[in-house]
Amino acid sequence: MTRISALQMQTAGTDTAANLARIESAARQAAGGGATLLVTPELGITSYGGGEAIRALAEPADGPIVSRLSEIAHQTGVALVGGFAEKDGDAIYNSAIHTDGTGTPSVYRKSHLYGDYERNLFTPAKPSTCLFSHHGMKLGMLICYDVEFPENVRRLALHGADMILVPTATPMGYSGSFIAEKMIPVRAFENQIFIAYINNIGRDGEFDYAGRSVIAAPDGSALAQAGFSEELLTAEIDPALYDSSRSENTYLRDL
């Protein structure tokens, strides 16, 4: 059994230092509650709504932002997933990093960019299978719109993922609520895995976010849900509790 936390976060816009400080505070709070992993939203460090200013904030995966996240993880004992604008040569990616404060961090780049706003800022990455280990579980990462394509989730599940971590910046509105409340539980159920779908909240630039972060279990139930304010979610992840669900819903085995 592993306890994880997730921060539905109100960013300080493009103030990366303030955003990192907020993540550090949440990591210390999560550690105090016995969590070993903290997931934060899409571009939560460099801001989703910052527009062209995001380009100037983009850093390589071995830059100061990732170094600071690794320091926080090392100091708190809580592994971190954080979203940032990643610069690699002339390309800028919408990326998420996982670091436990030791070794080389895992980097995932968003493959399915949403709308002209994202396409004008970022380079789409090829779909990739980003997996890493955490307390005996195999975890994967996707970012926001990626999870809405069932092929992406299925690919990770077929490669053995027990849980997928999804930083997101889903906007306010019907579709945002539908994705969090309906689609994410179905993705978890149809692949018999856990999914942590963690959103921004409040206003950032021209965007108002839907909140409604959710940690879904393999049987489609919600282990933790957020509303419309900043909130730290915590859930116990125990794959063994869902053995009966997997034995009844043998989708992966029957492909």
Distance CA 222, CA 234 (A): 11
Active site residue 87: no
pLDDT in tens, the chain (255 residues): 899 999 999 999 999 999 999 999 999 999 999 999 999 999 999 999 999 999 999 999 999 999 999 999 999 999 999 999 999 999 999 999 999 999 899 999 999 999 999 999 999 999 999 999 999 999 999 999 999 999 999 999 999 999 999 999 999 999 989 999 999 999 999 999 999 999 999 999 999 999 999 999 999 999 999 999 999 999 999 999 999 999 999 999 999
Q: Please, are residues 167 and 96 in contact by the beta-carbon 8 Å criterion? A: yes
Total structural domains in the chain? 1
Active site residue 130: no
pTM, two decimals, is 0.97
Q: Considering the candidates 86, 110, 130, 148, report the single residue annotated as catalytic.
A: 110
Active site residue 110: yes
Domain, as residue range, for 225 = 2-254
Q: Considering the candidates 42, 59, 118, 148, report the single residue annotated as catalytic.
A: 42
Distance CA 128, CA 110 (A): 9
Give the H or E element holding residue 247. Answer: helix 243-248
> Which CATH number goes with the domain that contains 166?
3.60.110.10
Q: Considering the candidates 24, 118, 130, 144, report the single residue annotated as catalytic.
A: 144
